[in-house]
């Protein structure tokens, strides 16, 4: 009976459910549609079901450190210093345990262990002497890591194959004892970054392209290898009719004179004769000095080519040539003269074009040194034609002003320049300053006005004779004058120490020349100050000047920063708004 009653009750419930469904309807559960992007999305998290560590053996939770190469090796991808400290700690623990247990190390075992440690220390992979600075290490202890830090410290970068590591001090320079004696007496305490990188290249007879900011000892960097090269050759008396052994070319007479003075400091230690060949001097006297015999000729390209064409000089045995300020020589129109001089040199001793071919250490090859602050296309073309597999050494950033120069730019009207110049010179007191202008006429006018105002001023410009220019430079160096008004003649290469301020009365026509102007105040690592008078006529250099000021961290005047010319490089076509925004007026 109970079962029948239960069945009846179930039937009744089913009927009620059917009636409810008929009148109320039923809500079917909808199946959630998963997008393909969500369905196949990669999950970076582990699910709990994927955790297998619950079943791990308890021994695996505390793994024993692998003793690579008997505790002398190192695991990749981990800090080697930490591994070295851990290995030293484990070694000390083992020694303490052995002492407590009374175990003594046999002499044979100790000797073997010392040999293993010495072998590991000589192997670069295991060398972990990172606690010492590279300056505290011997040359044989230096690792690739140390050399990398060394180059970063001196801002040295290089391109080319088979480049030797730079020297770190004069003792590693491989210069002769006579030259080192001259270096010591000349007061060269430490090599400059360029000298560190370039001297050993020159001693190996490598062709070198040096790109460096001003005041880094470029002259000495090529003079010392050049004199070392000459000292290996026979005396010039035996073959003086064949011409000099080396030629140095410079763009200006002043720079050539400066190179001659620097070379003579060291040449007399080796008995080497130096002859300058520059314009505005008697070519007959220069011919006489060349005919007497010399090992080194320092010349401007125009006068040297003139001597070659007149048969006053020959270069039959010249296999060492230096092009100082190569970009300046090209800019001033000396490319034809430089090419003419290089073509007059013998081509029988050129290096092989295949850089993998070994050079004869005792052989004599043409060696070309080229120094330039920038690498314009004309200089690159010259380098490709005459240099073989050159080593390119760059100190700092090419064409960039050094961070040691504090640059101040003042925007003003032309009529405001001279009063502001007088104020700057009054603030300097007895300190020296160079005032750069763009024209000879302006240089003479400003110099005359400053002289009337009572300043001790002299002028250096291309219209003056060589003797007058030398008198001006010597007087400025000797502090008989404290103001030098100059054109671009003094803009590059000329070394005048302790110049307190560079004043660009006229802004240079290019940013490269501006860089060389302000470089006169920062020599041999000293700080300097450069002040530039800017007018609205100098808009062609606004963009490059603004970029240089920003890169060096110098203040940018608001007028310069907001000017339209400083926002676009000259020759750049500004972006035009879409044509759909144009308004068309119907007539």
pTM of the model: 0.63
Residue 305: inside a domain, yes or no? yes
Enumerate residues 6+ apart whose C-beta is below 8 A from 498: 432, 526
- Domain range for 482: 405-566
Q: Do 222 and 119 share a structural domain?
A: no
Residue 368: inside a domain, yes or no? yes
Residue 12: inside a domain, yes or no? no
Q: Do 412 and 389 share a structural domain?
A: no
Residue 17: inside a domain, yes or no? no
Q: Do 204 and 281 share a structural domain?
A: yes
Question: Which run of H or E residues covers position 156?
Answer: strand 156-159
Domain finish residue from 364, 395, 426: 395
Enumerate residues 6+ apart whose C-beta is below 8 A from 233: 245, 295, 364
Number of domains in the chain: 3
Residue 1: inside a domain, yes or no? no
Q: Do 162 and 88 share a structural domain?
A: no
Task: State both tokens at 584.
Answer: 């068309």
Question: Which run of H or E residues covers position 448?
Answer: helix 440-452
Per-residue pLDDT of the chain in tens (587 residues, 90 and over written 9): 677 888 888 888 888 888 877 777 666 667 777 788 777 777 777 777 777 766 666 666 666 666 666 656 677 777 777 777 777 787 788 888 888 888 777 778 778 777 766 665 554 444 444 557 777 788 888 888 888 888 888 888 888 878 888 888 888 888 888 888 888 887 788 888 888 888 888 888 888 888 876 666 788 888 888 998 888 887 766 677 888 999 999 988 888 888 898 888 888 888 889 999 988 788 888 888 888 888 999 999 999 999 999 888 888 888 899 998 888 888 778 888 889 998 888 877 676 666 666 666 566 778 888 888 777 788 888 888 888 888 888 887 655 555 677 888 999 988 899 999 999 988 888 888 899 998 888 989 999 999 998 889 999 887 787 778 888 888 888 888 889 998 876 555 566 777 888 899 999 888 878 887 887 776 555 677 889 999 888 888 888 888 888 887 888 888 888 888 888 777 665 555 665 655 655 54
Q: Do 387 and 241 share a structural domain?
A: yes
Enumerate residues 6+ apart whose C-beta is below 8 A from 71: 87, 90, 91
Contact assessment for residue 366 and residue 350, using Cβ atoms and an 8 Å cutoff: yes
Per-residue CA distances from 549 to 116, 340, 521, 560 (Å): 56, 39, 17, 11
Q: Do 391 and 409 share a structural domain?
A: no
Alpha carbons 484 and 517: distance in angstroms, whole number: 13
Residue 365: inside a domain, yes or no? yes
The domain that holds 435 is classified in CATH as 3.40.50.300
Length of the chain: 587
Q: Do 160 and 119 share a structural domain?
A: no
Task: State both tokens at 56.
Answer: 């791990």
Q: Do 298 and 233 share a structural domain?
A: yes
Residue 6: inside a domain, yes or no? no
Q: Do 281 and 209 share a structural domain?
A: yes
Q: Do 267 and 413 share a structural domain?
A: no
Alpha carbons 487 and 462: distance in angstroms, whole number: 8
Q: Do 323 and 375 share a structural domain?
A: yes
Residue 138: inside a domain, yes or no? no
């Amino acid at each position: 009976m109970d079962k029948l009653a239960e069945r009846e009750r179930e039937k009744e419930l089913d009927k009620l459910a059917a009636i409810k469904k008929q009148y109320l309807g039923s809500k079917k559960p909808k199946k959630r549609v998963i997008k393909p992007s969500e369905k196949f999305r990669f999950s970076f998290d582990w699910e709990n079901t994927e955790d297998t560590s619950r079943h791990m053996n308890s021994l695996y939770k505390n793994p024993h450190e692998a003793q690579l190469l008997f505790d002398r090796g190192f695991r990749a991808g981990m800090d080697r210093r930490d591994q070295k400290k851990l290995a030293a700690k484990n070694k000390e623990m083992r020694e303490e345990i052995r002492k407590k247990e009374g175990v003594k190390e046999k002499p044979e075992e100790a000797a073997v262990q010392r040999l293993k440690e010495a072998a590991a220390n000589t192997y670069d992979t295991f060398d972990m002497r990172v606690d010492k600075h590279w300056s505290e290490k011997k040359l044989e202890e230096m690792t690739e890591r140390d050399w990398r830090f060394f180059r970063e410290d001196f801002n040295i970068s290089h391109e080319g194959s088979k480049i030797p590591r730079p020297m770190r001090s004069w003792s590693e320079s491989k210069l002769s004892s006579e030259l080192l004696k001259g270096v010591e007496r000349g007061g060269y305490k430490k090599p400059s970054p360029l000298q560190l990188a370039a001297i050993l290249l020159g001693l190996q007879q490598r062709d070198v392209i040096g790109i460096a900011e001003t005041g880094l000892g470029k002259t000495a960097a090529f003079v010392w290898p050049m004199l070392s090269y000459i000292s290996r050759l026979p005396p010039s008396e035996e073959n003086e009719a064949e011409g000099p052994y080396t030629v140095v070319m410079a763009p200006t007479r002043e720079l050539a004179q400066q190179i001659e003075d620097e070379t003579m400091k060291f040449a007399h230690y080796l008995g080497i004769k130096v002859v300058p060949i520059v314009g505005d001097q008697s070519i007959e006297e220069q011919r006489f000095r060349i005919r007497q015999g010399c090992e080194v000729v320092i010349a401007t390209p125009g006068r040297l080519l003139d001597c070659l064409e007149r048969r006053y000089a020959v270069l039959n045995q010249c296999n060492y040539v230096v092009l100082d300020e190569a970009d300046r020589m090209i800019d001033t129109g000396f490319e034809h003269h430089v090419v003419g001089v290089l073509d007059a040199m013998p081509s029988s001793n050129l290096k092989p074009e295949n850089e993998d071919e070994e050079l004869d250490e005792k052989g004599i090859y043409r060696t070309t040194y080229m120094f330039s602050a920038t690498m314009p296309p004309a200089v690159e073309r010259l380098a490709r034609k005459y240099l073989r597999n050159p080593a390119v050494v760059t100190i700092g950033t090419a064409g960039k002003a050094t961070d040691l120069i504090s640059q101040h730019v003042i925007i003003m009207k032309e009529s405001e320049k001279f009063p502001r110049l007088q104020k700057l010179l009054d603030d300097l007191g007895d300190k020296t300053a160079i005032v750069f202008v763009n024209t000879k006429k302006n240089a003479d006018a400003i110099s005359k006005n400053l002289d009337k105002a009572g300043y001790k001023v002299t002028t250096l410009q291309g219209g003056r004779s060589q003797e007058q220019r030398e008198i001006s430079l010597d007087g400025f160096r000797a502090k008989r004058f404290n103001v030098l008004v100059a054109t671009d003649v003094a803009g590059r290469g000329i070394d005048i120490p302790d110049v307190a301020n560079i004043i660009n009365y006229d802004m240079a026509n290019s940013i490269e020349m501006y860089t060389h102007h302000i470089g006169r105040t920062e020599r041999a690592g000293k700080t300097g100050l450069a002040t530039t008078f800017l007018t609205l006529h100098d808009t062609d250099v606004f963009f490059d000047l603004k970029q240089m000021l920003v890169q060096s961290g110098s203040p940018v005047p608001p007028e310069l920063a907001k000017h339209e010319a400083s926002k676009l490089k000259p020759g750049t076509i500004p972006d035009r708004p879409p044509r759909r925004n144009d308004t068309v007026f119907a007539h």
